[in-house]
Structure 1
Amino acid sequence: MNFQNRKQLIVRTVEERGSADVSELAELLQTSEMTVRRDLVQLAASGLIYRTRGGAMKVSLATDKHTFANKTAVHAERKDYICQLAAQDIQEGDVIFMDCGSTVFRLCQFIRNKRITVVTNSLPIVAELMTSDVSVNLVGGEVDKERQAVHGLMAEEHMARYRANRAFIGVDGLSLEHGLSANSEKEASTAIAMARQTEKVYLLCDSSKLETNKYLYFAPLSLFDVLITDKEANPDVIATYRQAGITLIN
């Protein structure tokens, strides 16, 4: 496949998905990761995509001030499907942790009428649930304006004071070989802090993140109890995860 054809396919894929990793694009184009990286450099120089660590992002998502709102819109149908499945396990009276992930945020619409308590570091989740039947406990600490979330030592100490029945966390990358990975130490530390204080951890992960590796490896697969993904996941990958002993719902 020549560069022009690869260019069209890369740009279309990034536009549709919001972002894509080098490994994903290499598999899609049936070419080497080195070729993909070279193509991404040229496309970024032309302003057609935004280059990220390990891949590319849709330009509007990289430059728009409302980054979190845009992230929640990427793969929205997949995220809603995942959250519908997750909501089925939440019982009346539960105390649950919800991190600041864009997938986890979409769980709000399915729990609004449940009499539960949510402990979260996400400002959008607090805003979304303020007019619902849910009791909300906002984690205290420093506010990350871009991420619209509370992070830091004080936030971790706050979470350590509570026990939850369930925790719902997101992840930037997941692989059998390396476990959980993230684009930020802040989000990684929040996920670990929540997992320590809960009876059961649910990892909400859309299929585009399966078998991908991000900047920071922060936890083994044992951090979570249940993986919930969507119907678009590769059947071979799903089978491999289940063979590895992972409890998976899709």
Structure 2
Amino acid sequence: MTNERQEEIRLLLQQHGHLTVAELAKSFGVSDMTIRRDLKHLAGLGLVRREHGKASYLQSAGPDTLFLSRLGEFEREKTAIGAMAASLIAEGEPVIFDAGTTTLAVAQFVSAGCVAITNSLPIAGVLGERAGVTVLVTGGELRGTTFALVGPLTRSTVSGFNAEKLFLAASGMDLERGLSTTSMLESEVKQEMLSSAKKVILVAHSQKMGRVYYHTFAHWDRVDILVTDSGLTEPARRSLTDRGVEVLIANPARRILPK
């Protein structure tokens, strides 16, 4: 419940700009102290700004915060996708988390104890606070725009990991061209991850369907499950099902602040 509440707090702050601790406490039916702890956690991730008695949504202002600004794109859908995908993790499983904003949403809802390996610094930070989760971070070169680790050292670390599940991200997905991305370095890491996991779970909002970027790193025969939102068209869903991909639809919920 804590992870879900923190996600909803962030959504509310994005919607309203700023809210007081008292307003948030009333909205969620919890104490001011609980809200302050939530805000401290979100501020530590660089997602909100804490002020005296209130908090505000942290607007990104430069290329070094591009990754954080992308969290706001289709945020409600990503939150729902993350919650559903995280429920697929069984206690004690070794799991890989690919770098990305939607895979970060998955990490924010992890409740099962597991062993997680990731090349994402934001995901490592989130999972590091989860009781019962052992976090392994790959080495490698840091990409400032995504806070992802890439390169030969990253690939070497991933190749030695035997995972039950991979939570995979993609910049684009297309029925014919498969999964694509804009970074050759990240594409190489994704391919190594695909070879190190028994089950591949693609997490992506529906607006990515039909998008093709310059490098395809996998086709649909490598994907076991797609977790997406209700914007996916029925013809696309049927086509994926025919290809052997299980499609799970996550429906965003909305919390309204009391007036």
**TM-score, structure 2 as length reference:** 0.69
- 2:82 aligned with 1:83, yes or no? yes
Contact 2:94 2:114 in 1 (8 A): yes
CA distance in 2, matches of 1:151, 1:121: 7
Q: Which residue of 2 aligns with 1:211?
A: 210
Q: Give the CA deviation at 1:244.
A: 3.5
Q: Which residue of 1 aligns with 2:122?
A: 124
Contact 1:101 1:170 in 2 (8 A): yes
| Residues 1:242 and 1:218: Cα distance change in structure 2 (over 3 Å) | same
Q: Give the CA deviation at 1:236.
A: 2.6
Q: Which residue of 1 aligns with 2:34?
A: none
User: How do 1:135-214 residues align onto structure 2 when only pairs under 5 Å count?
Assistant: 135-214=134-213
1:82-107: CA deviations, max 9, x gaps?
Answer: 11221121000011000111100111
Task: Give 1:206's aligned amino acid.
Answer: H
Q: Which residue of 1 aligns with 2:113?
A: 115
Secondary structure of residue in 2 paired with 1:128: helix
| Residues 1:177 and 1:218: Cα distance change in structure 2 (over 3 Å) | same
Task: Give 2:135's aligned amino acid.
Answer: V
Secondary structure of residue in 2 paired with 1:131: coil
Q: Which residue of 2 aligns with 1:242?
A: 241
Spell out structure 1 runs of 4+ moving beyond 6 A.
none
CA distance in 1, matches of 2:238, 2:159: 36
CA distance in 1, matches of 2:189, 2:247: 23
Q: Which residue of 1 aligns with 2:102?
A: 103
Contact 1:61 1:71 in 2 (8 A): no
CA distance in 1, matches of 2:198, 2:239: 26
Q: Give the CA deviation at 1:226.
A: 1.1
Q: Percent identity?
A: 27
User: How do 1:15-30 residues align onto structure 2 when only pairs under 5 Å count?
Assistant: none
Task: Give 2:67's aligned amino acid.
Answer: F
CA distance in 2, matches of 1:237, 1:221: 12
CA distance in 2, matches of 1:64, 1:236: 37
Aligned residues: 190
Alignment gaps of 5+ in structure 2:
1-58, 250-259
User: How do 1:52-67 residues align onto structure 2 when only pairs under 5 Å count?
Assistant: 63-67=62-66
1:172-204: CA deviations, max 9, x gaps?
Answer: 111111111111112211211111011101011
**TM-score, structure 1 as length reference:** 0.72
Alignment gaps of 5+ in structure 1:
1-59
| Residues 1:187 and 1:230: Cα distance change in structure 2 (over 3 Å) | same
CA distance in 2, matches of 1:94, 1:219: 24
